[in-house]
Amino acid sequence: MEFRISEVAATAARLQRDGDDPVCAYLYDLTALRRHVDRIVSSLPANCEMFYAVKANAERPLLAELAGRVHGFEVASGGEIAWVREQFPEAPLLFGGPGKLDSELQLALEQGVELIHVESLGELRRLARLLEQGDRRQPILLRMNLAPPSLPRTTLTMGGGPTPFGIDPAELPACLDLIASQPRLVLRGFHFHLVSHQLDAAAHLALLADYFAQLRAWQTEFGLACEEINVGGGIGINYREPQRQFDWDAFSSGLGELIEREGLQRLRVRFECGRYLTAPCGYYLMEVLDLKRNHGQWFAVCRGGTHHFRTPAAQGHSHPFVRLPGRAGGATVRNARISVVGQLCTPKDMLARDVEVDEIAVGDRLLFSLAGAYAWNISHQQFLRHPAPLVHYLDDTEAA
């Protein structure tokens, strides 16, 4: 992962200079995004494809960079189908996620979604009924909720026990019977997305090895010939220790070895990662408005807050940031522990708790990194009706 802090900091300084009010903004480094995604996609084994889970961040310029670099997009609502189709009429789409409406399934059929990831027997029945009305055959994967021995306990687990996601393996025979009775449902294989926030490359490889073993077992048991397995997304970003990220190189080379060892070179293996692709290119910028000591603790009250950047509150971490010295002459605190808060009237509006700073001053800019996924788009923007942050895109190719 590449962080071009000096380029981002220069833009942050310009945004502060240009504004009348203290600054708060999202900055997205499209140059870094391109490099990151190209590196990931080019290191995948030949039979693997990377899709982007649009829910992580669907800002147009990010999607425009990703289109053509990734193999396609994973969408999880009718809104995402429409949003992506409007911009990329030809991009391969995978439609997953729970609670699909009939109208969304119909839209997926009309928009030529390549694969529908079916979440339940009920959804399969509804899709079968919709297909009866036309002459289209629809390829599908069944999303299964497995409990493999290697399932890691991350902070966000979508399977391995009672959850609303995927199909209980006990229902697989009933799903296969239904598919056998409706020739317009074309079963291409299985889908698994059991965890997010996976930081351990070896553990992720072990999980994939279990998926492959299960696929083989079902193929034998039910006489299936699967072309494809989707191993989901879920590769994490280490917010707590940003220097220790998921070891992508070890993972991609280990995956190549696993595929060879298992003789799976002819199976299409698809990923649908969100966070790991776009989190590193995004930054949230706040300006320090006030420094105050309250019952023995220091607080930096900043422009913006969790209504723009809910990630640290949602994940319960202190988000990493760098301090960029700002307008000179502001009140200053040195060698202190301080909590960084926003403008909301709630103690939950905290972005970093009790962190050590050498120096911090009113007018400084705080630049929060790793803010490109599940950040602005998951925030409760209307609370207190503060304005939206500025949004700025850095792109070296434009300057050239």
Residues labelled catalytic = 345
All residues at 6 or more sequence positions from 383 whose CB lies less than 8 Å from its CB, including other chains: 307, 344
Least separation, in Å, of the C-beta of 276 and ligand PLP? 6
Residue 270 sits in the site that holds ligand PLP (CB under 6 A): no
Residue 280 sits in the site that holds ligand PLP (CB under 6 A): no
| DSSP string of 329-376, one letter each residue | T--EEEEEEEEEE-SSSSTT-EEEEEEEEEEEETT-EEEE-S-SSSSG
Which residue's CB comes closest to ligand PLP?
233
Q: In terms of residues, how long is the chain?
A: 400
| Phi, psi for residue 332 in degrees, rounded to 5 | -130, 145
Residue among 72, 78, 234, 280 that touches ligand PLP (CB under 6 A): 234
Least separation, in Å, of the C-beta of 5 and ligand PLP? 24
Closest C-alpha to 370, from 200, 270, 238, 265: 238
Least separation, in Å, of the C-beta of 261 and ligand PLP? 25
Least separation, in Å, of the C-beta of 399 and ligand PLP? 30
Residue 71 sits in the site that holds ligand PLP (CB under 6 A): no
Residue 96 sits in the site that holds ligand PLP (CB under 6 A): yes
Site map (CB under 6 A) of ligand PLP, residues 137-176, x = contact: ----------------------------------------
| Phi, psi for residue 372 in degrees, rounded to 5 | -95, 0
Mark the segment that binds ligand PLP (CB under 6 A) among 12-20, 133-141, 269-277, 345-353.
Answer: 269-277
- Please say whether the beta carbons of 365 and 308 come within 8 A: no
Residue 201 sits in the site that holds ligand PLP (CB under 6 A): no
Residue 272 sits in the site that holds ligand PLP (CB under 6 A): yes
Residue 370 sits in the site that holds ligand PLP (CB under 6 A): no
| Distance in angstroms (rounded) separating the CA atoms of residues 287 and 311 | 18
Residue 193 sits in the site that holds ligand PLP (CB under 6 A): yes
| Distance in angstroms (rounded) separating the CA atoms of residues 345 and 343 | 7
Element (H, E) at 196: strand 195-196
Mark the segment that binds ligand PLP (CB under 6 A) among 124-132, 177-185, 255-263, 266-274.
Answer: 266-274
Residue 273 sits in the site that holds ligand PLP (CB under 6 A): yes
Q: Where on the phi/psi map is residue 374: left (φ > 0), alpha (ψ -120 to 50), or beta?
A: left
Residue among 233, 280, 304, 326 that touches ligand PLP (CB under 6 A): 233
Cα-trace Rg, the chain: 23
Q: Which two tokens stand for residue 234?
A: 């879920």
Mark the segment that binds ligand PLP (CB under 6 A) among 34-42, 268-276, 306-314, 328-336.
Answer: 268-276
Using DSSP's 3-state secondary structure scheme, residue 284 falls into: strand
Q: Which is nearer to ligand PLP, 196 or 306 (CB)?
A: 196
Residue 232 sits in the site that holds ligand PLP (CB under 6 A): yes
Residue among 204, 275, 303, 307 that touches ligand PLP (CB under 6 A): 275
Residue 54 sits in the site that holds ligand PLP (CB under 6 A): no
Mark the segment that binds ligand PLP (CB under 6 A) among 9-17, 101-109, 274-282, 285-293.
Answer: 274-282
Q: Which two tokens stand for residue 16?
A: 């502060």
Using DSSP's 3-state secondary structure scheme, residue 155 falls into: coil
Neighbours of 83 (CB within 10 A): 17
Q: Which is nearer to ligand PLP, 87 or 163 (CB)?
A: 163
Q: Which is nearer to ligand PLP, 154 or 346 (CB)?
A: 154
* Strand ranges (E), 172-262: 185-191, 195-196, 228-230
Half-sphere exposure at residue 233, Cβ-oriented, CA atoms within 13 angstroms: 25
Size of the site for ligand PLP (CB under 6 A): 15
All residues at 6 or more sequence positions from 251 whose CB lies less than 8 Å from its CB, including other chains: 201, 204, 205, 235
Residue 196 sits in the site that holds ligand PLP (CB under 6 A): yes
Interacting residue ranges for ligand PLP, rule: CB under 6 A? 53, 56, 74, 96, 193, 196, 232-235, 272-276
